[in-house]
């Protein structure tokens, strides 16, 4: 089993800030399925606070490469794109892998997914894999003062 470094939402957004919103960077974020919604909310808040930008979120089960490309092309303001992939989406990942240049034109792109789906992405999407900035394990940020 491959081990990946762990980060927090705050730490990830600091990494994105260091590379700026105009530079392409693609991250695969591994998350427990039950924590995906919380991580997504934390990401939206941190991106707004730290970067002054919007998180453009897409659910992989409801999007095609054409819809994704159109949404990306229509955005004129810098932002971060998040693709939440709760289950393996072969057709979408294959399309993204063949058209990876579309993703590298929009700034930071985050794939939020489970370990199993991340493993499939890494083994079955070589073009995407070659463009990754990092693969990280992420969870929701702890409340100030720690867990209650």
- Boundaries of domain holding 115: 6-139
Examine residue 98 and state whether it is found in any structural domain, yes or no.
yes
- How many domains does the chain divide into? 1
Query: What's the rounded mean pLDDT across residues 116-125?
Result: 96
In a domain, 1, yes or no: no
Asked if the structure places residue 144 within a domain, the reply is no
Task: Specify the CATH number for the domain of residue 27.
Answer: 3.40.50.300
The model scores a pTM over 0.75? yes
Residue 103, in any domain of the structure:
yes
What digits encode the pLDDT tens for the residues 18-73? 988 888 899 999 999 999 999 999 999 999 999 999 899 999 999 988 888 777 77
For residue 125, tell me if it sits in a domain.
Answer: yes
Backbone phi and psi for residue 117, each to the nearest 5 degrees, phi listed first: -70, -40
Flag whether 41 is in a domain. Answer: yes
Question: d(Cα 117, Cα 120) in Å, to the nearest integer?
Answer: 5
Instruction: Quote the Cα angle for 31-35-41, to 5°.
Output: 105
Query: 141: which 2 tokens?
Result: 């940020």
Classify residue 61: in a domain, yes or no.
Answer: yes
């Amino acid at each position: 089993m491959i081990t990946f470094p762990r980060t927090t939402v705050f730490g990830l957004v600091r990494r994105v800030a260091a590379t700026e919103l105009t530079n392409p960077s693609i991250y695969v974020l591994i998350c427990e399925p039950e924590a995906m919604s919380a991580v997504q909310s934390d990401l939206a808040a941190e991106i707004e606070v730290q970067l002054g930008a919007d998180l453009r979120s897409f659910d992989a089960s409801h999007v095609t490469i054409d819809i994704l490309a159109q949404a990306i092309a229509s955005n004129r303001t810098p932002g971060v794109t998040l693709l939440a992939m709760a289950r393996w989406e072969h057709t979408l990942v294959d399309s993204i892998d063949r058209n990876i240049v579309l993703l590298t034109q929009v700034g930071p792109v985050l794939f939020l997914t489970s370990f199993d789906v991340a493993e499939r992405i890494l083994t079955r999407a070589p073009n995407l894999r070659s463009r990754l900035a990092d693969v990280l394990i992420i969870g929701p940020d702890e409340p100030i003062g720690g867990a209650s």
